Amino acid sequence: MKMLMNLVAFALLFNGCTANKVADALIQNSCKEVPKFTGMVSRWPHFENDCIASLKENPQSQKARNIDDLIMVGANNAISNLTNVKRIVEKIIKERKYKSSLSKKSLEDCLKLYSKGSHSLISGLNYIKKGNFDDAEHEYTDAVKAPIFCELKFNGDNQQISPVKKENNLLVTMIQIPELLIMKATWH
Ligand SMILES: *[C@@H]1O[C@H](CO)[C@@H](O)[C@H](O)[C@H]1NC(C)=O
């Protein structure tokens, strides 16, 4: 009996390990091939590593068996990332941690951009669920404008320093992950 239990435990463990290896290999290959495939690898030197790290961070990714599963994980990650960045900006405004009234105005503009972006990301996820990758891709192209235009509010004529520069840069990548995975999945 004990031996049988050991055997069962071993089989479960072994199964779990191979499953993780399958998911990890899928994540690595997908993140690696995406930027090359779009010819954008030089623009985002960190893309591959950020893509792998963020997908692995979500436990759902361990259940992924194909690129469609990974797209779902990336789509959900992008939503929670944007929500977090939005909360950070709301907190800065609420606690009056901004450097100037001009900076406050820019942060308020960013909140509007994030709201639009959030709308696009949710709509993108719904398109993915329906298997409509073309429309989903457009939503991601729109959503990525939120962190990009938010940064431009600071670095444009205003010459203010964005308090969420790092967060916005990461958010761009987090939105590009599902976008580029979709491009890879729909490439003929
Ligand atoms: C966004 O996601 C990245 C990658 O998982 C993470 O490092 C970063 O802290 C997240 N940002 C926020 C504000 O949650």
- Residue 7's pLDDT band, with cuts at 50, 70 and 90, is low
What is the per-residue pLDDT across 14-63, written as a single tens digit (0 to 9) for each?
A: 666 676 888 999 999 999 888 666 665 545 678 889 999 999 999 999 99
Does 54 contact ligand 1 (Cβ within 6 A)?
Answer: yes
In eight-state DSSP terms, residue 3 is H
Question: In terms of pLDDT, which residue wins out, 174 or 43?
Answer: 174
Does 76 contact ligand 1 (Cβ within 6 A)?
Answer: no
Q: Hey, what are 25's tokens?
A: 């290999």
User: Highest mean pLDDT: which of 5-9, 30-34, 129-133, 155-159?
Assistant: 129-133
Q: How confident is the model at residue 90, as a pLDDT?
A: 98
First to last CA, the chain: 54
Atom 5 (ligand 1): residue with closest C-alpha?
Answer: 54
How far apart are alpha carbons 10 and 63 in whole angstroms? 20
Residue 57 Cα to ligand 1 midpoint, Å, equals: 10
Does 170 contact ligand 1 (Cβ within 6 A)?
Answer: yes
Does 81 contact ligand 1 (Cβ within 6 A)?
Answer: yes
- Answer whether 154's CB lies under 8 Å from 103's CB: yes
Q: How confident is the model at residue 12, as a pLDDT?
A: 62
Count helices and strands (H / E) in the chain.
7, 0
What is the per-residue pLDDT across 89-102, written as a single tens digit (0 to 9) for each?
A: 999 999 999 999 99
Q: Is the pLDDT of residue 75 over 60?
A: yes
- pTM beyond cutoff 0.95: no
Residue 3 Cα to ligand 1 midpoint, Å, equals: 45
Does 20 contact ligand 1 (Cβ within 6 A)?
Answer: no
